[in-house]
Amino acid sequence: MKKILLQTTITYAKDDWSIERFSMITGFLSAIQDESGGKLFHITARDRENLASGDDRVLSKLDESDFDELWLFGVDAGGGLGPLDCAAISRFRERGGAVLTSRDHQDLGISFCTLGGLGAANHFHSKNPESDPARRVADDTGTPAILWPNYHSGNNGDFQRVELPTPAHPIMRNVGNPSGYIEFLPAHPHEGAISVPPAERSHARVAALGRSTTTGHPFNIAIAFDRNGRGRAVVDSSFHHFLDYNLDPHTGCPSFVTEPTGSGMLENSQALTDTKAYIENIARWLVE
């Protein structure tokens, strides 16, 4: 049985995006079966626990653990990873450990900048902005306090139609659809910005794109990194693709979230099926 660590970059806070708000994907991953009908993954879900050094109790020794995958949700606006954490995550990948990172708008998840290779795939407001200056403007204008990058793919609780580069990447397959591919994922009013780092182009590529509902601008949703002597990785543009709130707004959200919600994910069964396929595909592909 493979072991997956689901972790946020903040210590527990009831009125924030703590790990308890990712309970649905924890259940999805736990239910995945191997060919004999047994459980394929054992899931550990936790928030950050800081040591006196400021590093996390588990992440700072991740390379010494028996985890096979790290799913890291960047819900911090700074200080979400310590130097020992970053070093251990790098060693974890060097020993073959697989990583998914997912952040959000503006500077949420900015601690990812300290992750070698994967950090360069993430563009923030304060660090490593998108290379095209024309992209350094607000895409979502409904929440002026949130600065760029903030690509608007729809309301929380609704779905977005995704676009796939050719050939389609394995994490975007869904044989249950006539097309054979994932067509929908949860929407969010202000997704983050990601791209393939120039130094990684020989073994990383865009797996899925979204398109802004306000400007029509395309933006990257997922980037897949093949092994190249290390563990595989996926960089995702928004942790809202995985949140209970975006799958079912009735589960609630922190008090600072004020945008209107939709009901598309509840009304369109394919949207939920596609999202579950995306989650399962990532988990399987990372350790293939």
Q: Which residue has the tokens 């959200």?
A: 253
**Domain-wise residue ranges, the chain:** 2-287
pLDDT of residue 116: 81
| pTM for this prediction | 0.97
Give the residue from 1, 14, 25 showing the smallest Cα distance to 47.
14
Class of domain 2-287: alpha beta
**How many C-beta atoms surround the C-beta of residue 104 within 10 A?**
26
DSSP 128: S
pLDDT of residue 117: 83
**The pair of three-digit structure tokens given for residue 210, joined into one six-digit string:** 């979204």
pLDDT of residue 231: 97
Give the residue from 242, 161, 265, 149 showing the smallest Cα distance to 209.
161
8 A C-beta contact, residue 70 and residue 100:
yes
8 A C-beta contact, residue 244 and residue 275:
no
From first to last of its 288 residues, the chain has per-residue pLDDT tens of: 999 999 999 999 999 999 999 999 999 999 999 989 999 999 999 999 999 999 999 999 999 999 999 999 999 998 999 999 999 999 999 999 999 999 999 999 999 988 988 999 999 999 999 999 999 999 999 999 999 999 999 999 999 999 999 999 999 999 999 999 999 999 999 999 999 999 999 999 999 999 999 999 999 999 999 999 999 999 999 999 999 999 999 999 999 999 999 999 999 999 999 999 999 999 999 999
Cα gap 221→72, rounded to integer Å:
16
Give the residue from 143, 104, 97 showing the smallest Cα distance to 122.
104
Per-position b or e across 266-287, b if 16+ CB within 10 A of its CB: beeeebbbbbbbbbbbbbebbb
Cα gap 10→285, rounded to integer Å:
27
Beta bridge partners of 139: none
Q: Which residues contact 72 (CB under 8 A, 6 or more apart)?
A: 7, 8, 9, 89, 99, 100, 101, 102, 112
